[in-house]
Amino acid sequence: MHPSQSSKGDLLIVDDTPDNLRLLSAMLTEQAYDVRSVRNGAAALMGVQGQPPDLILLDINMPEMNGYEVCQRLKANPNTRDIPVIFISANNEVFDKVQAFSVGGVDYISKPFQVEEVLVRVENQLALRQLQVQLQQRNYQLEAVEADLRRALEQEQALNQRIEELATLEERNRIARDIHDSLGHALVALNIQMETALALWQQDPDRAFTTLVEAKQLGSDALRATRQSVSDIRADPLQGQLLEEAIAALTQDFQRTTGVQPACEIDVTQPLSHSVSTAVYRLVQEGLTNICKHANATVVTIQLQLMEGGLVISLQDNGKGFQADAAVSGFGLQGMRERLQALGGTLEITSEPGAGCRLTALLPSKIKN
């Protein structure tokens, strides 16, 4: 479609009667339309392919190829099917309106032509066509936006998957370090006990036997720790539970071990990703484990709060405390830091000997979803 800048539209008239062509062309040209005219269906089909018009005025009764057949061919072609077709018929001609509309016509005008009728029907169809084009453009825009959103969603899902994979890898690395440290210590102690037993075997059999019993216990402890670590690697720590439920289970275990029931304050109104939930669970788990082993606490408080700046996790006890500056690698704190750093988080430790300990972790707001 290439109408001139001042044109109201590009029209194609198809009629085998020259007088009709001249009359319609003059009538429409006078109203600022660009008008082309041809005298048979074959020429019309060729002209439409070269330059699709905005509207076609198509005579029904033409030799060789009538208007119905021309319209059918136009509608069968994806490049021309959307061009509106107004049929032309004479009052004294047999005009099958049902067939005209069934083959794709949108309206009709009768000969002899009434100027007002022709102009109104042409303007109406061009206005409808313009609305249809605008609707198609909006649909294309919406499809493009939808495609962009779909790509963004796929990228976000891939990123979340990668984050979870990295978190899982970090968790396995941490467990591997724990195995190395705890098992290495146990095996060194076991080796010393065995050497002592061998040295005492001849001189003091009773003491050698006692040493071997202690060595066996060390071996059993190392084996149990190894099995637990392997189980941690294989299993989902949340086991399909919500974070609140998993933390509740941790506090129950803590109470059975220590006799202390931690106070929990959880205010998380939005769902967290699995990687973040796992990190929070492990953080609370390690914190409670350290309190159980080292703090001698009688009061423990766990707080989780989703704020504008991110997720805040706090563990506080009234135990014996420690010198925070000297505890970077002790009490499992290094593992906590590494877990948080993998998600862009931070860990703050507040403790003094005899004054308990407070761990405050912050995970940034970008991880909330």
CA distance 187 to 182: 9
Q: Supply the CATH number for residue 64's domain.
A: 3.40.50.2300
Quick one: tokens of 325?
Answer: 């500056």
Q: Supply the CATH number for residue 350's domain.
A: 3.30.565.10
Mean pLDDT of the chain: 84
- Is 140 a member of any domain? no
Q: Cα-flanking dihedrals φ and ψ of residue 286, to 5°?
A: -65, -40
Q: Which residues contact 57 (CB under 8 A, 6 or more apart)?
A: 11, 12, 13, 14, 15, 24, 86, 88, 109, 122
Q: What percent of the chain has pLDDT over 90?
A: 37
pLDDT at 185: 60
Domain end call among 93, 113, 133: 113
Note down the domain range covering 296. 238-369
Query: Judging by DSSP bridges, how do beta strands 10-14 and 300-307 pair with one another?
Result: unpaired
Residue closest to 9 by CA, chosen among 122, 107, 87: 122
- Is 146 a member of any domain? no
Quick one: tokens of 58?
Answer: 């198509």
Domain end call among 83, 113, 143: 113
- Is 271 a member of any domain? yes
- Is 157 a member of any domain? no
Give the N- to C-terminal CA distance of the chain in Å, as an integer: 49
Q: Can you spell out the DSSP letters for 230-279?
A: HHHHHS-TTTT--HHHHHHHHHHHHHHHHS---EEEEE--SPPPHHHHHH
Side chain identity, residue 102 = S
Q: Please give the model's pTM, rounded to 2 decimal places.
A: 0.44
- Is 329 a member of any domain? yes
Q: How confident is the model at residue 331 (pLDDT cuts 50, 70, 90)?
A: very low
Q: What share of the chain is helix, strand, coil (3-state, %, to 5)?
A: 55, 15, 25
Q: Cα-flanking dihedrals φ and ψ of residue 27, to 5°?
A: -60, -45
- Is 132 a member of any domain? no
CA distance 16 to 26: 16
Quick one: tokens of 274?
Answer: 């699995």
Q: How confident is the model at residue 158 (pLDDT cuts 50, 70, 90)?
A: confident
The CA R_g of the chain, rounded to the nearest whole Å, is: 42
Compute the residue count for the chain: 369
Residue closest to 170 by CA, chosen among 273, 279, 274: 279
Q: How confident is the model at residue 340 (pLDDT cuts 50, 70, 90)?
A: confident
- Is 353 a member of any domain? yes
Mean pLDDT of the region 274-278? 83
Domain end call among 49, 84, 113: 113
84 pLDDT above the threshold of 90: yes
Query: Judging by DSSP bridges, how do beta strands 10-14 and 55-59 pair with one another?
Result: parallel
Alpha carbon distances (Å) from 115 to 26, 45, 86, 112, 351: 11, 27, 15, 10, 95
Q: How confident is the model at residue 336 (pLDDT cuts 50, 70, 90)?
A: confident
pLDDT in tens, 180-231: 655 666 676 777 778 888 888 888 888 888 888 888 887 887 777 777 766 6
Query: Judging by DSSP bridges, how do beta strands 310-317 and 357-364 pair with one another?
Result: antiparallel
- Is 364 a member of any domain? yes
Quick one: tokens of 142?
Answer: 């919406």
Between vectors from CA 79 to CA 74 and to CA 83, what angle results, nearest 5°?
55
Specify whether the CB–CB gap between 1 and 8 falls below 8 A. no
Q: Which residues contact 311 (CB under 8 A, 6 or more apart)?
A: 268, 272, 276, 280, 304, 305, 362, 363, 367, 368
pLDDT at 92: 58
CA distance 130 to 82: 11
Domains in the chain: how many in total?
2
pLDDT at 207: 87
319 pLDDT above the threshold of 60: yes
Residue closest to 102 by CA, chosen among 92, 112, 113, 87: 87
